[in-house]
Amino acid sequence: MSRVIVFGGHGRIALLLAPLLVARGDEVTSVIRNPDHVADVEAGGATALVADIENIDTEGLADILRGHDAVVWSAGAGGGDSGRTYAVDRDAAIRSMDAAVLAGVRRYVMVSWLGSTADHGVPEDAAFFPYADAKWAADEHLRSVDLDGTILGPGTLTFDEPTGRIQIDPAGRGEVTRADVAAVIAATIADPSTIGRTLRFGNGDPESAVAIADAFSH
């Protein structure tokens, strides 16, 4: 059994992730900003923790993290406001990594996106640029700190039914169901072979995709 803390606990992926972790015997703490979301989170078996991660400092985040075995960062500002995007997707994410170091919680899984590279190609005047820029900065920080980190880069998210299969380094937009992303996160937490890796994935073609449980060896 592991004690897993999930930032962005009311996000669509996180709400799918928590029941998967609970079903295998993990204890899940889901960090949320809005107290109105407590019931939604706890319906999936997680314990809700209301906290404003945008404004908590590193020491405060370390206090939240202590006693956990793994961190999942699935929080985001949701777009629309570049200031908040940088505040959450970059700055708060980076503070959470520094806090994990401070709290001695070594396992850290970052949910990023397929195109998060130094040359992501998003123009600076594009509405999507702050997100791309913020996520790349956060990913790079995780690579630089002394944590057992994994960066997950799913492609375009869909609401389709889960397939249980993914393709690593897919071509194009790499469409992938949110439920399959949740399953990948759950598998990643428990798989030490993913430590230190950046895994970009989508659902792929049925003939080329592999079962999630087998994907990391490919």
Residue boundaries of the structural domains of the chain: 3-217
Mean pLDDT in residue range 30-43: 98
Residue 216 has a pLDDT of 83
| Contact indicator for 79, 127 with CB cutoff of 8 Å | yes
- Cα–Cα–Cα angle for 1, 193, 182, rounded to 5 degrees: 60
Residue 79 has a pLDDT of 74
Reply yes or no on whether the pLDDT at 80 is more than 80. no
Reply yes or no on whether the pLDDT at 218 is more than 60. no
Give the rounded percent of residues in the chain with a pLDDT score beyond 70. Answer: 100
C-alpha pair distances (Å), 172 with each of 176, 178, 206: 12, 18, 16
Residue 128 has a pLDDT of 92
CATH of region 3-217: 3.40.50.720
Mean pLDDT in residue range 197-203: 97
Mean pLDDT in residue range 151-163: 96
Give the rounded percent of residues in the chain with a pLDDT score beyond 90. Answer: 90
| Contact indicator for 140, 158 with CB cutoff of 8 Å | no
What is the distance between the alpha carbons of residues 185 and 42, in angstroms, rounded to a whole number? 19
Reply yes or no on whether the pLDDT at 217 is more than 80. no
